Structure 1
Amino acid sequence: MLKLQDIRISYGAVEAVKGVNLEVREGEVVTIIGANGAGKSTLLKSIVGLEKPQSGSIHFSGQDITYAPAHKRVGMGLALSPEGRGVFPDQTVRENLMLGAYAHQGNPAQVEDLIEKEFQRFPRLKERQNQLAGTMSGGEQQMLAISRALMSEPKLLLLDEPSLGLAPLIIAEIFRSIRQLSASGLTILLVEQMANQALSVAERAYVLETGKIILQGSGSDLMKDPAVRAAYLGAH
């Protein structure tokens, strides 16, 4: 479904992504783990069209989208739940969800059906549907960010650090939702610093270090890898 070939991205003289090759097959959960500053978020932004690579190619569903504008990629089936959640703080929960359904704006009945589906996924959003998003807790905002991305009915959902800054109980709820989405057949590319949780839900995983893929394999294999355990799982 997604194939990145030799992607390089620079900020001025600093090369943040250094020749990354990566693929995601239909129906998989694939995770990218790595420390702060490894280039994970930059890589996701390049996939959805928010960062332009200096070289390399990005193919999605058989089409070259390397330089396609971001809004066209949403229409093709890509959606990002960004790092830091990025909800619209002065809009209500319902309004945030409606903004996520921009591609369906000509079909109000479909939008309402999608909103109801997200309310079933995260009942707390239904309780707070008329509340301003900026007044909600971090966990509630994360639920909203994921639901807003799902409102476009993506083929591939990109999740950037969904556990960031959240309490353990909320993290467990978020990862439960990721498992449910995967079980429904949705393809997911997950960027996450909490390597244990990320590897436990992933069929395959990549380790990104200073802009380069240094390891790849099944989630279960990387959980057993001594180098990964020492660097990312708190085990020695």
Structure 2
Amino acid sequence: MTPLLKLTNLQKAFGAVTVADNQSYEVMPGDALGVLGPNGAGKTSMFNLITGTLKPNGGSIHFDGKDITNWSAARRSHSGIARSFQVPQPFSGMTVFENAMIAATQSAGLHGHAAETLCLDVLDQTGLMSKANVLAGSLTLLERKRLELTRALCTTPKLLLLDEIAGGLTEAECQSLIKTIKDIHAGGVTIIWIEHVVHALLSVVDRLIVVDFGKLIAEGPPKDIMESPQVKEIYLGIEADA
């Protein structure tokens, strides 16, 4: 089976600061991959490289069997890559439904009844149907997180990149969001999820990678990664020989 996403020797630096240090890994269709690493490790930069808002200094990115290394961010979005952001920034003066319609028409290329049907289906999936005609600026934090998911899903993605979407939520809100993400993944969407709320991440993903100073330092089943002395030292601040 062809990987949905393949990074090969991906490199990116800003002067002396390296955010991607020869990164190589694959994501198969249907995978749920978790990404761990301390603040400043280069996790969000990795997403920026995948989505095309950053250009690499070296290496390649393949998506769905095509070399997309030099593709624009818009072309990557149209091809099936979507993401959420750490800080939700909806169009506050528009309704939830209007926010969804922008994604459906501008990224998915749908119009009229087809766009409306998609948006309503996604709003139902993300639990925002009752808020469809509410201004996005009046939403709670959990609802804004759900709107981030909605806008991403309305682009009809094959690959969904989640950037710390559980951050700032209460435990009950986090559990509610986890259920929604599980349902999205069960519906066939491949997921890569960066998260500091580790228990939320581990309840969804089937594989973990750990990034530190732009370098991929560990990859494997979640249980093995969380028990790794190297990961405990770098990510959790525990001495490896403790």
CA drift of 1:73 comes to 0.7
TM-score, scaled to structure 1: 0.92
Q: Percent of aligned pairs with the same residue?
A: 36
Provide the C-alpha distance between the structure 2 equivalents of 1:188 and 1:104, rounded to a whole number of angstroms. Answer: 18
CA drift of 1:86 comes to 2.5
- Is the counterpart of residue 35 in structure 1 residue 32 in structure 2? no
Moved more, 224-233 or 186-195: 224-233
Corresponding residue SS for 2:33: strand
CA drift of 1:231 comes to 5.7
Deviations 1:192-220 (A, max 9, x none): 11223213311111001111111110123
1:195 touches 1:233 (CA, 8 Å); kept in 2?
Answer: no
CA drift of 1:129 comes to 1.8
The residue that corresponds to 2:114 in the other structure is 110
Provide the C-alpha distance between the structure 2 equivalents of 1:76 and 1:104, rounded to a whole number of angstroms. Answer: 9
Q: 1:172 to 1:41 in 2, by over 3 A?
A: same
2:90 touches 2:136 (CA, 8 Å); kept in 1?
Answer: yes
Unaligned segments of structure 1, at least 5 residues: none
The residue that corresponds to 2:77 in the other structure is 74
- After superposition, where does 1:56-75 map in structure 2 within 5 Å? 56-75=59-78
TM-score, scaled to structure 2: 0.90
Q: How many residues align?
A: 235
Q: 1:195 to 1:126 in 2, by over 3 A?
A: same
Q: Which runs of 4+ in 1 moved over 6 A?
A: 233-236
2:36 touches 2:210 (CA, 8 Å); kept in 1?
Answer: yes
Deviations 1:142-172 (A, max 9, x none): 0000110000111111111111212221111
CA drift of 1:107 comes to 2.7
**2:188 partner letter:** G
Task: Note the aligned Cα RMSD (angstroms).
Answer: 1.9
Q: 1:231 to 1:106 in 2, by over 3 A?
A: closer
Deviations 1:46-81 (A, max 9, x none): 101111111110000111101100111111111111
Provide the C-alpha distance between the structure 1 equivalents of 2:155 and 2:77, rounded to a whole number of angstroms. Answer: 7
Corresponding residue SS for 2:107: helix
- Is the counterpart of residue 55 in structure 1 residue 58 in structure 2? yes
- Is the counterpart of residue 225 in structure 1 residue 204 in structure 2? no
Provide the C-alpha distance between the structure 1 equivalents of 2:185 and 2:108, rounded to a whole number of angstroms. Answer: 23
Unaligned segments of structure 2, at least 5 residues: none
CA drift of 1:96 comes to 0.9
Provide the C-alpha distance between the structure 1 equivalents of 2:159 and 2:148, rounded to a whole number of angstroms. Answer: 15
